[in-house]
Amino acid sequence: MQTPTYAHTYLAAAGLRLPTNWLDYTILAIYFVVVLGIGLAARRSVRTSLDFFLSGRSLPAWITGLAFISANLAATEILGMAANSAQYGAYTVHWYWIGAIPAMVFLGLVMMPFYYGSKVRSVPEFLLLRFDKAAHLLSSILFAFAAILIAGVNLYALAIVVEALLGWPQWVAIVVAGAFVLAYITLGGLSSAIYNEVLQFFVILAALIPITILGLRKVGGWGGLTHKLAETHGHDFTTAWGGTGIGSSNPLGANWLTIVLGLGFVLSFGYWTTNFAEVQRALSAKNLSAGQRTPLIAAYPKIFIVFLVMIPGLVAAALVPGIGTSGSGLQYNDAIPYLMQELLPNGVLGIAVTGLLAAFMAGMAANVSSFNTVFTNDIWAKYVVRGREDAYYVRFGRWITVIGVCASVGTAFLASSFSNIMAYLQTLFSFFNVPMFVVFIIGMFWKRASVKSGFWGLLAGTVTAMVNYFVLYKKGIISIPSDQGANFVSAIAGFVAGAVVMVLVSLFTEPKPAQELQGLVYGTRSPGMSEPPAPGDDAWYRRPALLGWGAVVLAAACYIPFSF
């Protein structure tokens, strides 16, 4: 079964035109007005660079927690995971229950005390403290580049969806969406992005819930859905582990071992623990306890959001049995737009379109806001123009936001050359996040890791992942059934290469003195890691360990109905 290209997908989607009317456009207009209003309101709180880049570290955990999950819940994830479900079935749950929850809990319980306690403004800055300038500069450049690429994916996906659904030309959609994101980030900095992400989270839910409920009703409920899919796709299509034995064949092109190691450990931990677009939300929390609880609070909606993206994909597969083939006229990425066209009345349709736009803007804003922070603080202020007054860096942060949005417009069209949204994003994560994760995890848990090992481990991991994907896989030297399977293997290869090089380099070069590792290596502490809980934070239901392990147990329990 062929994997659709975006060009083919949205040529096919040319027939998907929603019957929008004045009510739908009114809802959309109200949303954009509110977005700009939040940006103007947040501008009043921006007085220093800390305010602009990290919201003055003043936000409560429930705000940062919802922003954390909203920044991840971009429309690339909504469309991509629905497409995954239409193509691969219930295997999609792995991206959530094993591919997100354990890593989010690890971030909250283990890594946030180091991030927050060291008072760093970004993830790359932690590498500067733990290793040296070479590791810091390389990680900053790689992250800034990846952030622009991912922001471009969101912008391009928004443009083609709006073109398909509303009939707007792509360039109009790109300019309008880019202008609104640019406006509210440059006005209010991270606070504006975060408060808009909280709003966007609820708008996204308002879009997905009607699609899911009406879709299930259309196919006769969950029982009717599984019956139809079993007839057309086989029983394993609605199970999580069916057909994943080593040596078995399945559409995902992965077995249980590559799912657990490639997705569940390497890709997952690489993304959730080092992706500054997510970690930045936790760093903006008002204290260490709130910072720790940020990803833990986000874990709970993450467990259940899979149903709102997976079920529409399964419904589309049931209603269009040949989806993804040339004969159906619809590709996998058309699952959500198709159901919107078929199921939603006016008014609800306007909310759904607004939800999709909100999701795209949340994903783009998260990457643009993290890009301006890293570029300003980690590249410009440390290596280009040093020692200027604080107001200068706030002004520069606003200007680099403009440049970042413009660059995202350019990279938006690069996405059109890749097979599908989720495969493209997973490819980027295997290149950029996984090598950074191995440097973090070894540096954080092994005191002997030397100053030079950070740079060489990061470089080796990145190059190895790229070589595995572009040379070994794309040229057919190794046989892997799908792009997703290739991403899992590339991630494992990058992790192993980075780890081996770090160990070898550490054995022949000098480590940092022990006194310089306080608060940077597991088993050591800094003053910032020892602050007493704020009033109310010591309540039993706010304890990070309880929240974290509760999420892990709940995610594991969710596998039970999908295991047979």
Give the 3-state secondary structure of 521-534. CCCCCCHHHCCCCC
pLDDT digits (tens, 9 = 90+) for 128-187: 999 999 999 999 999 898 888 888 877 777 776 677 666 777 777 777 777 777 776 676
Q: Is 151 inside a domain boundary?
A: yes
Report the residue count for the chain: 564
Using alpha carbons, select from 41, 117, 35, 10 the residue that is nearest to residue 331. Answer: 10
What values do phi and psi take at 173, rounded to 5? -60, -40
The answer on pLDDT for 2 being more than 70 is no
Tokens of 522: 């597991």
What stretches of 167-287 show up as alpha helix (H) in DSSP?
170-218, 221-233, 256-258, 268-274, 276-283
Q: Does residue 194 lie within any of the structural domains?
A: yes
What is d(CA 356, CA 157) in angstroms, rounded to the nearest whole number?
10
Per-residue pLDDT of 433-459, as tens digits, reads 889 989 989 998 999 999 999 999 999
Q: Is the pLDDT of residue 4 over 60?
A: no
Quick check: is 238 in a domain? yes
At 209, which CATH number?
A: 1.20.1730.10
d(Cα 119, Cα 130) in Å, to the nearest integer?
13
Boundaries of domain holding 332: 6-416+423-562
Tokens of 230: 């079993």
Residue 183 lies in a domain: yes
Residue pair 559/93 in contact (Cβ under 8 Å)? The answer is yes
Number of domains in the chain: 1
CA dihedral 488, 494, 496, 502 (to 10 degrees): -160
- Which has the minimum average pLDDT: 97-106, 150-159, 408-417, 472-481? 408-417
Q: Which residues pair with 285 in a beta bridge?
A: 59
- Greater confidence, 90 or 254? 90
300 lies in some domain: yes
Q: What does each C-alpha distance from 106 to 292, 369, 481, 508 come to in angstroms?
A: 10, 24, 31, 31
Specify if 253 maps to a domain.
yes
Domain annotation covers residue 220: yes
DSSP letters, 389-433, are -HHHHHHHHHHHHHHHHHHHHHHHHHGGGSS-HHHHHHHHHHHHH
Coil, strand or helix at 511: strand
Please give the model's pTM, rounded to 2 decimal places.
0.82
Q: Is residue 1 part of a domain?
A: no
